[in-house]
Structure 1
Amino acid sequence: MSNGAEHANHRTKDTETEGYRPDRLPQTLRLIQRAGTVEASFRFGSGAVPDTVVPRGGFRAVGLRWEGTFAEAGQGAIRPLQAQMIARIGEVSDAIEADTLVCVSFTREGGFVHYIAVQVREDAPVPEGMHDFSLETANYLYCRKGETDAVEDVYAHAFSLMGERGFAHDRGIHVELHSRGWLADRPYAMDIYLPVVPL
């Protein structure tokens, strides 16, 4: 893996997601996981039922990394990264679900780290200028943003649902799935997965 690798598992120390492990989750959440028939992969438009907690398998991804504040992101600072990643997808070998862009954010004090990436096999190389990261299997609240929905409204709805159902957002991780044809300056649909733990 590259020097810029991020891990949401127990193998790596001192990363922004160290300690995010399914074996540490309370029994009630593991029961939700077992209730799912199969751990599905992250795929845009996978057909999951919106506003439900669903298990999703872990993955490794390769892509471009951005770090900054929420204000900078709101002013469009991430958009150039989106165009660059779409143009460079062909450089990523061993891509899985190559038509799905996986955008993952790790919240930090004062801002966040954001990746626009594609899922890859464990031994896939990392192209020059890109980074890799991984997430382990977890349970997520899934919400769907339609083409005409405001992103802020969908997130507000998701956090309201969490509170109503006795869950908390785990470690500030956000997973957003887009189609490869996504353009942020045009109407677009998006799948949002937020890892949850019981309150």
Structure 2
Amino acid sequence: MSYEIVTLPAYRTVGLKWVGTFSEIVPNLKNVIQQVKDCADEVGNKINPHVLLGLSYHVIENGFVHYSVYQVSEEQEIPDGMIELRVPEWTYVKTTHCKGEDVQKTYTDLHQWLFNSDYTAYKEAGVVYYDLNMPIKHEHYPVDHDPNHPHFDIYIPIVKK
């Protein structure tokens, strides 16, 4: 695996929010992701129409808050039933999960890299996280990816130790 340190400027997103436990992921989270894909035409001012973002925040016990969203311009109105989320400028460690590989192994390797690096996962002040190793996970999926054999980029916000 290769790892790259990147800083992404702040950006605006529009899409759907899901809150649930790990046991509720299937089929609930997959349904939310599909709903966002089905409504993609309602989001006309996408910055990168070929990438669907999965932004996860581990702020509930045994689960997380997930935003299935598109990055959009400031001109984009929020379609009915959708929400807006603004992501601040952060520095990330970026890696890629390749099709056919084990997702759990990809994250285990990333955790090991973080442990051995000069960085630690970023945690927003005043927020309680239930996954202290990677409390915030951003995944960038090609919109046409195969959910049974996914490939995607992973971005974990980081700070120097």
Extract structure 1 runs of 4+ deviating beyond 6 A.
Answer: none
Candidates 178, 184, 190, aligned match of 2:152: 190
> 2:43, 2:107 → 1: CA distance?
30
What is residue 108 of structure 2 aligned with on the other side? 156
State how many pairs are aligned. Answer: 149
Give the alignment's TM-score, normalised by structure 1: 0.71
SS at match of 1:144: strand
State the partner residue of 1:122. 74
Q: Deviations over 1:7-46 (max 9, x none)?
A: xxxxxxxxxxxxxxxxxxxxxxxxxxxxxxxxxxxxxxxx
CA distance in 2, matches of 1:153, 1:168: 19
1:53 alignment counterpart: 5
Shift of 1:189: 0.9
Corresponding residue SS for 2:100: coil
What residue is the counterpart of 1:173 in the other structure? Answer: 136
Cα distance in 2 for partners of 1:89, 1:118 equals 8
Alignment of 1:94-113 (within 5 A): 94-110=45-61, 111-113=63-65
Q: Distance in 1 between matches of 2:60 and 2:149?
A: 31
Cα offset for 1:136?
1.4
Equivalences for 1:9-20 in 2 at 5 Å?
none
Structure 1 partner of 2:30: 79
TM-score, structure 2 as length reference: 0.86
- Say which is worse superposed, 60-69 or 164-173, in terms of deviation: 164-173
Q: For the aligned residues, what is the CA RMSD?
A: 1.5
**1:65-120: per-residue Cα shift (whole Å, max 9, x none)?**
100112322x3421111211111100012111011101101111312110111111
Structure 2 Cα separation of the partners of residues 109 and 66 of structure 1: 12
Q: Which amino acid aligns with 1:175?
A: H
Distance 2:155 2:27 in 1: 22
- Higher share of residues assigned strand: 2
1:14 maps to which residue? none
Structure 2: gaps (5+ residues): 124-134
